[in-house]
Structure 1
């Protein structure tokens, strides 16, 4: 028996060596246990994975078996199905022969275009008939309103010269008041204060005559246009506007060159020009109660105050003409 090895450093050193060796053994045992646990856990995970794959494979096999049985059943019935289809074919062929033939797309498109053209034509006829009806109603109403004050004075419809005599008055405002009585197709919304500013001018008497001439011609134009449309003849080029009407008369009270149908860019686009020419009208003509009046008549010559009469020709709609301004020349590019 070999003697027990002793440490050359004495019992104390030998005891420390034993303690260190024991600690290393305990640590080694702990590492072995941990490693064993990790291996066991990994094995469990792998086992669970392969079990899951096995279940998927089993389900897929079960579904494949079900499909195989259904296919086998169809295959077993193949002969019966084939015979049944073959027996149905003659009946189907016969039914197809008696089906109505589908019309060609081009033929349908042609029919559609013809129908749309006919619809548009009927719409246009309806519009024209409605315009003639409205013109006839306006002519009837205006004739009734006109006959009461004018029959006693012997004024004939459309007789501008006779009407002009009835518009004679000692003042410009008086001429406008007479027009309100006798010119039943004129709506006069002009501010009388504008006319009154011209009363004491040395040319006031000349302007009164020209104003009466202009108002009489405007009334004659509206009357003749309404009556022409009411008779179903339609308003030709002579009734395109007041200037054309004056140009078509043999001896008009108002020269066509005095009728201006539009104004320059300042009047139609600048804020000041547009504001000055936005004048009052009945709400039946414009719901806002105002409308732009660029058409006007030169009552005075070019020298200031150069009176002008601005109006709105609404004869194509209401059959009326609105006189929205009579007074000094409104601001334009040369007076601004």
Structure 2
């Protein structure tokens, strides 16, 4: 054994070195114990994992062995199973051959697409029918609401002569004001000042009578058309337009010859003619608040001022007629 090294610095230094060495040995021992403990724990975990895997393998093996035993038992009970299956195969083949052939995938896709298109068409038809039904219901309700004040006032719907009496007034402007009260299907946007310019003419009284009769006929035309729509009946040729209605009516208040459904090229196409006939309407009929009114009625004869009433027939949509102008004959190609 080699002698213990002694410190050249004396016994005190020697003692210090011994303490330090002892502490280092203790630390190494502690680390070794911790490492050993860690390794033991890891080993336990790995051991538990492999033990679990071994149990799973054993269970699987037992299950496989059980299946093998059951198959062996089945085979032992039906030794002629193979021969039976072989005898059944021809019959199965014949049955399969009798089955209808499956259509090709492309054919199935084509059928599916055709069915989808048909479904879409039917859905569109249903939507259109529902919209038409709703429109008819709205038209019926609107017609009943608009005609109720007339009925409450004792005027029979469609009686133009009785309505003309209610529209009588001492002035042309007054006739238009009366129409606003009694003609629930007319919207009068005409400037009353245009009518007032005709008041001092010698034929003013005749024009007042004709204006009242004209407005009464327009109202009864709209009434009958609204009622037909409300009851789901078509307008028919007699209610195709105001001219047709006047021609089929027994009333003589407005001759169909006085109803003009259109005008010449100047009035419908020229800037001046078209501007004069672009007249105010409610914005729910046209968002711009204006519409070109070529349809008009001859209230006066051909001699100036030849009064005319221009109107916009919206009975096929809103059920209303807008009277946009009553006054002197508007500018046309023959006007100087």
Q: Please tell me the TM-score bracket, short chain as reference.
A: 0.5 to 0.7
Other-structure match for 1:266: 266
Aligned runs of 1:52-67 on 2, under 5 Å? none
What is the CA distance between 1:112 and its match in structure 2? 5.1
Other-structure match for 1:140: 144
**Cα-Cα RMSD:** 2.4
What is the CA distance between 1:332 and its match in structure 2? 0.5
Other-structure match for 1:173: 173
What is the CA distance between 1:234 and its match in structure 2? 2.3
Query: How many pairs does the alignment contain?
Result: 237
Other-structure match for 1:205: 205
What is the CA distance between 1:186 and its match in structure 2? 0.7
Distance 1:183 1:218 in 2: 9
Pair 1:247-2:250 in alignment: no
Other-structure match for 2:327: 327
Distance 1:301 1:105 in 2: 73
Other-structure match for 1:155: 155
What is the CA distance between 1:158 and its match in structure 2? 1.3
Q: Deviations over 1:266-290 (max 9, x none)?
A: 1111110011001111111112111
What is the CA distance between 1:138 and its match in structure 2? 1.2
Q: Deviations over 1:204-238 (max 9, x none)?
A: 11111110010000110111111111011122222
Other-structure match for 2:315: 315
Other-structure match for 1:13: none
The 3-state SS of whatever aligns with 2:215 is helix
Distance 1:259 1:305 in 2: 18
Other-structure match for 2:31: none
TM-score, L = length of structure 1 = 0.65
What is the CA distance between 1:125 and its match in structure 2? 2.1
Other-structure match for 2:282: 282
TM-score, L = length of structure 2 = 0.65
Distance 1:170 1:205 in 2: 8
Distance 2:239 2:181 in 1: 24
Given that 2:179 and 2:215 are in contact with CA atoms closer than 8 Å, whether structure 1 keeps it comes out as yes
The 3-state SS of whatever aligns with 2:332 is coil
Other-structure match for 2:297: 297
Distance 1:106 1:238 in 2: 52
- Call closer, same or farther: CA 1:141–1:218 in 2, change over 3 Å: same
Other-structure match for 2:221: 221
The 3-state SS of whatever aligns with 1:161 is helix
Other-structure match for 1:129: 133
Distance 2:133 2:183 in 1: 27
Pair 1:104-2:107 in alignment: yes
Which 5+ residue runs of structure 2 have no aligned equivalent?
1-96
The 3-state SS of whatever aligns with 1:104 is helix
What is the CA distance between 1:192 and its match in structure 2? 0.8
Distance 1:218 1:251 in 2: 12
Other-structure match for 2:61: none
Distance 1:171 1:323 in 2: 18
Q: Deviations over 1:16-57 (max 9, x none)?
A: xxxxxxxxxxxxxxxxxxxxxxxxxxxxxxxxxxxxxxxxxx
Distance 1:106 1:217 in 2: 61
Distance 1:288 1:155 in 2: 35
Given that 2:160 and 2:251 are in contact with CA atoms closer than 8 Å, whether structure 1 keeps it comes out as no
Distance 2:185 2:294 in 1: 20
